[in-house]
Amino acid sequence: MTFRGGVYLPEDKDKTKGLSIQPIPIPERIVIPLSQHTGAICEPLLKVDDLVKKGQKIGEGKGLITSPVHSSISGKVIDISFQPHPLGNDIVSITIESDGKDEWVDNLKQNEDYLSVEPERLREIIKEAGIVGMGGAQFPTHIKLSPTNGNKVDYVILNGAECEPFITSDHRLMVEKSSEIIEGLKIIMRILSVKKGFIGIEKNKPDAIKAMQIAEWGTRNGDKSAIEVVGLNVKYPQGSEKQLIKSVLKREVPSGKLPMDVGVVVNNIGTVYAIYNAVRYGKPLIERIVTVTGDGVKEPKNILAKIGTSFDFLIQNCGGFSGEPEKVIMGGPMMGIAQYTLKVPVIKGTSGIVVFSKKSEKTDSNYQPCIRCGRCIDNCPMAISPNLYGLYAERGMIDNAREWNVMDCIECGICSYVCPSNRPLVQFIKYLKSEVKKQNKK
């Protein structure tokens, strides 16, 4: 099962795909950004010198599209100020110093019979837990699970493709927490009144496929299952929503539309695991699995990291750097973001930290004119024309880019990867999209 376009990339997952998830010591302090989601930035609910417990809500936003943030440790607030954010800008953040107790907040509400809870109440639990898309988009999950404009959802797909090179956080989660993921999927299916759910996993993860199949088999009623595990061809970007829907259901999401417009909701594996923990145990989203890897790290690991932990602390808990680092990326090498400081914290969308050493990272900032070879067009999974967008960006032709559907670009990075002229096509496209958004606001 697959989609048009795409590329076959070196996987580079061997360092961590067989390593179990490991906890690390509680950091002495954490920095919690008040924006870890799409939508309105949170306002702090605490002030400097306030005491806080693990799981306590410390920031909340106004408006429909927002998501609260919670403390991942117990301790004392020592600072509220602008701090570096891994997405590249400075964001108001709450710095908390640990008291070493790791003491949970008192009011966690558990639900043993969670599949009997009303859908609206389940949405509210997910909202209050601060759960967002953990595959990178960080869109508030309670909004994603609220169909609008009369849309009827036919299917739910769990995205276990994890097609980015190096990253294995979802892989290990499926191997080690398969039953919890199945239960999380059931919760989503109850919320949306959906009778059929799919779990899409690339075939390079046979242990994850087997684990999810065994967990799914244990929940069956009779011979028929409401949940199906689907093995997917190994091709990038198999984990992109629209490509995943095409591979699993053969449905096309039209230009300018969302998965819900074709009756589908897609959720990341980590997000579904967080939903289960929130609904069953009352736990907010305060930690996640982070793959720390690359040839620039001495001991690559899959780490259970508290939100707000610095990249530096995680790398030090992996033995530190191996040689001199050239580049540190949040996420994978195709869609990740290079960091300028290791003080940035783990946020809800941090799937991995990839460190490249100077000996492996070959950088060339010079690029040449487009030679019209067509490689970017042939490999584009969205069937658009990245070569034109590069020309439009250089000439400031924003209206032309809009007319040629630049907003359909998923920023997968394939065009830049295959370009023989080394053109920074993704950067060009991001610029064009930002200009289109500015025009839309006028």
| Average pLDDT, integer, range 409-413 | 97
What does the pLDDT look like over 121-143, one tens digit per residue?
Answer: 999 999 999 999 998 789 999 99
What does the pLDDT look like over 10-52, one tens digit per residue?
Answer: 999 999 999 999 999 999 999 999 999 999 999 999 999 999 9
Q: Cα(132)–Cα(122) distance, rounded to whole angstroms?
A: 14
Report residue 60 as tokens.
């909340």
Q: Please list the residues that pair with 397 across neighbouring strands.
A: none
Report residue 157 as tokens.
């797909």
**From residue 307, how far is each of 59, 300, 335, 360, 409 by CA, in Å?**
14, 19, 21, 30, 30
Q: What is the DSSP letter of 137?
A: T
Chain centroid to CA 378: 27
| Domain-wise residue ranges, the chain | 115-281, 375-441
Q: Residue type at 231?
A: G
| pLDDT of 302 over the 60 cut | yes
Percentage of the chain beyond pLDDT 70 is: 97
Whose tokens are 């190096």? That residue is: 166
Report residue 39 as tokens.
């939508």
pLDDT in the model for residue 402: 96
Report residue 162 as tokens.
């994890």
What does the pLDDT look like over 218-244, one tens digit per residue?
Answer: 776 655 679 999 999 999 999 999 999
| Average pLDDT, integer, range 400-411 | 96
Q: How many helices (H) and strands (E) does the chain have?
A: 13, 17
pLDDT in the model for residue 222: 54
Region of residue 7 (left: phi > 0; alpha: psi -120 to 50; beta: else): beta
Q: Which CATH class is domain 115-281?
A: alpha beta
| pLDDT of 284 over the 60 cut | yes
Give me the half-sphere count of Cα atoms (radius 13 Å) on the Cβ side of residue 364. 11
pLDDT in the model for residue 148: 82
Lowest mean pLDDT, pick from 110-119, 224-233, 422-431: 224-233
pLDDT in the model for residue 369: 95
pLDDT in the model for residue 437: 93
Question: Mean pLDDT, the chain, as a whole number?
Answer: 95
Contact between residue 75 and residue 13 where contact means Cβ atoms under 8 Å apart: no
